[in-house]
Chains A and B, each alone.
Chain A
Amino acid sequence: MAFLEVKDLHVSYGAIKAIQGISLKVEKGEVVTLIGSNGAGKTTTMNTLAGLIKPAAGQILFKEENIAGHDAPDVVSRGITLSPEGRQVFPKLSVWENLDMGAYSVKDPAVRKRGFEQAFSLFPILKERSSQPAGTLSGGEQQMLAVARALMSDPEVLMLDEPSLGLAPIIIQDIFNLIKKINGMGTTILLVEQNAKMALGISDRGYVLETGRIVHVGTGEELMKSDEVKNAYLGGI
């Protein structure tokens, strides 16, 4: 049984069937990437895993328990967090307060303290900016804050929805380096990216999503070599 396993998941927005029976697996310690074009259903999948949306059918098994339909706070307390698409930092809270909210579910003050230390060592810029309202940060800094905030509860699985969206190439490289580093520290990562080449480059495995269905599965390398994937998502390189 996999660490995190999605079985035949269906998600609808009213009459719109956004996810139509997807299944995927994430093993402990892996980096797994979900790629797919705009509107394929990547964000819907992530939000459903995080407990923001209730699925119409299917199972989400985490450590052998079905958590499909559980509310977001329960999912967080079980050790899965999401850094959502578009960052969604709290603009009028300070950087420090945003991180503090990331540790909202943490009871142990020692874990909290370690969370802040880790956040500031991974993202030194956040320490400099800690008393500044998050809304005044640059896009790249906000993205770092969103990732750092999702790490504050010391999750076992970190989900990242398009962390490179709208960022300059040099900053995207930083973000990917950090993802590798976080994974190296033992956190399992489920990544959604449009930037397929870089994402597959750091991934153990990948899934390709097309209009709510999974159309390709493979290791990062396999997918990068596949002609179909190359043509559709890697700009034909």
Chain B
Amino acid sequence: MFFQQMINGLTIGSTYALVAIGFSMVFGVLELTNFANGSFYILGAYLTLTFMNAMRGNFYVAFAISIIGTGLVGALMDRLTLRPMRKKGAPGIAAVIATIGFSEIINNFALVFFGTETKPFPNIFKVGKIRLGGAIITYLQIIIFVVALVLMLVLSLMVYKTKVGKAMRATAQNTSAARLMGINVNHIITLTFFIGTLLAAVAGTLVAMYVESVSVGLASAISMKTFAAAVLGGVGSLPGAMVGGILLGLVETIVAGYISSGYRDAIAFIILILVLIFRPAGLFGQKTQAKV
């Protein structure tokens, strides 16, 4: 039973981690708390479903179009709303509210185009499962975990080893110095939004398949949980986002299993508040260096 809960928690936690990584990358570069991730998450799921139906079930192509399309919507959000605000020197809170507004717009469009009812989502990997100890691990769970792990690895390599990744970190640490290096900061920001949003769309699709449904109502809870996961790990830290997401998934599932599933969504916020009280910098966060 406990082992089973761990496996279920790890599965859902790895999808939180994906969204939290995107959140943290955007936060790192702009110090922006992006509350639109939950909407990108459901948008990804809806678009995959729509393209899958349009293409008589070709999941892979539908998935590719969906995550790239959603990524572009995220990049567009920055170009259309956030960049003009930065240019005019608007206060940070204005941008946060803009992400909430953008998120509501997406949710509203989704309600109009995809309907208010919960939509069934086909699980195309229903083919098999493995028994391990007393627990059952489905192929889909393995796929979700592996996809999340591979994406985390690829992103870490990108951020820490490639030229564009270094430019992202440089921009995050000192935007005007980054410009002095010849880095086109606007391109870096657009790319960061694209990647962050794409990750949310991947997670949204995988989870929709896992729970075999998607609905607009998920969006705001996912946005908030992602925020909680990132804070738990230490905002702006990639390893922190990964660990924070997985821990949140584990704790949430175990609480739902042993105490009551009614508390599932409250758990994220209880953790969030505890972390903010006892370890405001998060598990992996560093105190900001004062030395200049």
Q: How far is the CA of A215 from the CA of B289 in the complex (A)?
A: 40
Known: A86-B292, A104-B163. A153 touches B170 (CB 8 A): no
Q: List B138-181 residues whose CB lies under 8 Å from chain A.
A: 163, 166-167, 169-170, 173-174, 176-181
Q: List B177-203 residues whose CB lies under 8 Å from chain A.
A: 177-184
Residues of A within 8 Å of B, CB-based: how many?
29
Would you give the shortest CB distance from B182 to chain A, in whole angstroms?
3
Q: How far is the CA of A93 from the CA of B177 in the complex (A)?
A: 13
Interface residue ranges, A against B (CB under 8 Å):
50-52, 71-73, 76-77, 81-82, 84, 86-93, 97, 100-102, 104-105, 135, 149-150, 153
Q: How far is the CA of A84 from the CA of B181 in the complex (A)?
A: 11
Known: A93-B169, A101-B167. A76 touches B174 (CB 8 A): no
Known: A91-B289, A91-B291, A93-B173. A84 touches B180 (CB 8 A): yes
Q: How far is the CA of A149 from the CA of B173 in the complex (A)?
A: 16
Given A71-B179, A91-B291, A101-B181, 20 more contacts at CB 8 Å? A52-B176, A72-B182, A73-B179, A73-B184, A76-B182, A84-B180, A86-B292, A88-B292, A90-B169, A90-B173, A92-B173, A93-B170, A100-B166, A101-B166, A101-B170, A101-B178, A101-B183, A102-B181, A104-B181, A135-B291
In the complex, number of A-B residue pairs with CB atoms less than 8 Å apart: 69
B179 touches A91 (CB 8 A): no
B174 touches A90 (CB 8 A): yes
Interface of B is mostly: helix
User: B residues within 8 A CB of A105?
Assistant: 181-182
A84 touches B176 (CB 8 A): yes
User: B residues within 8 A CB of A92?
Assistant: 169, 173
Q: How far is the CA of A102 from the CA of B289 in the complex (A)?
A: 22
B183 touches A104 (CB 8 A): yes
Known: A90-B174, A104-B182, A153-B182. A135 touches B166 (CB 8 A): no
User: A residues within 8 A CB of B291?
Assistant: 91, 135
Would you give the shortest CB distance from A135 to chain B, in whole angstroms?
5
26 contacts between A and B (CB under 8 A): A50-B180, A52-B176, A52-B179, A71-B179, A76-B180, A76-B181, A77-B182, A84-B177, A86-B292, A87-B292, A88-B174, A88-B176, A88-B180, A89-B177, A90-B174, A91-B289, A93-B169, A93-B173, A101-B167, A101-B170, A101-B183, A104-B167, A105-B182, A135-B289, A149-B181, A150-B180
